[in-house]
């Protein structure tokens, strides 16, 4: 395992922490966790506040291709792919690479980018519907923390199984109590979160041997 920041060139999201904290309640959280229209394209209080393609993932796709030395014919899986923006950009950056996605949100999949129609699968990260070591690499960005800890371990085991360890995951975390407080004011869907050491322990328990990094809410 290695800590590596493959999202370094992703533009920082604009967040109004105080506004989110003031509007967040159990009803809002319950709607967000449906991962439907309100989560992706409803008001910012419920999630993304409008999840539109704008090309911001292209630099990330370039860094992923370079990090894993991917080439035409390689197979890549994005676990928690949403509308398939990264799937689209990986194929754009590396013509011929075979990229697929999986997400639990039917709304996201039926509102996906035209270029990825037929490449996105509806399903849960806990039971990836693919054979062992069937991908050249597996990615999962800001998804694993949406499961309670025991189920997150299962997700990591599944990622390890289909990737053989050539994988990258990024999860919610924090380095200080102050960052933890900000995170807890903002988060809507995370079921498990911890300091980096706690996440590394979870990865080790799952037998995960791939790479990882952290999303820090600031």
How sure is the predictor about 217, in pLDDT bands with cuts at 50, 70 and 90? confident
Is the pLDDT reported for residue 218 higher than 80? no
Predicted local confidence at residue 17, as pLDDT: 76
The pLDDT confidence band at residue 20, using thresholds 50, 70 and 90, is confident
pLDDT on residue 173: 97
Asked if residue 23 has pLDDT above 80, the reply is no
Segments making up each domain of the chain, as ranges? 2-216
pLDDT of residue 127: 97
pLDDT digit string (tens) for 66-105?
Answer: 999 999 999 999 999 999 999 999 999 999 999 999 999 9
Q: What is the mean pLDDT of residues 178-191?
A: 92
Query: 204 vs 185, which has greater pLDDT?
Result: 204
Which of 1 and 142 is assigned the larger pLDDT? 142
Q: From 124, 74, 126, select the one nearest 100 (Cα to Cα).
A: 74
Summary mean pLDDT of the chain: 95
pTM, to two decimals: 0.94
Say whether pLDDT at 14 is over 90. Answer: no
Query: What pLDDT sits at residue 15?
Result: 76
Q: Hey, what CATH class is 2-216 in? A: alpha beta
Contacts 24+ apart (CB under 8 A), 31-38: 32/188, 32/189, 33/188, 33/189, 35/103, 35/104, 35/105, 35/107, 35/108, 35/189, 36/105, 36/107, 37/107
- Label residue 165 exposed, middle or buried (CB < 10 Å: 0-12, 13-18, 19+): middle
pLDDT tops 80 at residue 13: no
pLDDT of 186 strictly over 90: no
- pLDDT bin (cut points 50, 70, 90) of residue 209 is very high
pLDDT at 24: 81
Interval 24-64: pLDDT, tens: 889 999 999 999 999 999 999 899 999 999 999 999 999 99
């Amino acid at each position: 395992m290695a800590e590596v920041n493959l999202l370094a060139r992703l533009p920082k999201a604009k967040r109004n922490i105080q506004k989110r904290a003031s509007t967040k309640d159990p009803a809002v959280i319950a709607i967000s966790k449906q991962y439907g229209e309100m989560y992706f394209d409803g008001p910012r209080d419920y999630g993304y506040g409008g999840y539109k393609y704008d090309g911001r993932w292209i630099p990330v796709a370039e860094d992923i291709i370079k990090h894993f030395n991917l080439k035409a014919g390689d197979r890549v899986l994005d676990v928690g792919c949403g509308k398939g923006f990264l799937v689209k950009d990986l194929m754009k950056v590396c013509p011929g690479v075979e990229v697929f996605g999986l997400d639990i949100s039917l709304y996201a999949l039926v509102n996906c980018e035209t270029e990825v129609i037929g490449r996105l699968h509806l399903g849960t990260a806990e039971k990836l519907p693919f054979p062992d070591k069937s991908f050249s690499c597996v990615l999962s960005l800001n998804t694993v923390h949406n499961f309670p800890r025991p189920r997150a371990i299962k997700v990591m085991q599944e990622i390890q199984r289909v990737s053989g360890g050539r994988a990258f995951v990024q999860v919610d975390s924090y380095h200080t109590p102050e960052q933890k407080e900000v995170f807890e004011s903002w988060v809507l869907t995370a079921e498990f979160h911890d300091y980096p050491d706690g996440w590394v322990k979870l990865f080790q328990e799952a037998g995960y041997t791939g790479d990882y990094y952290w999303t820090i809410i600031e």
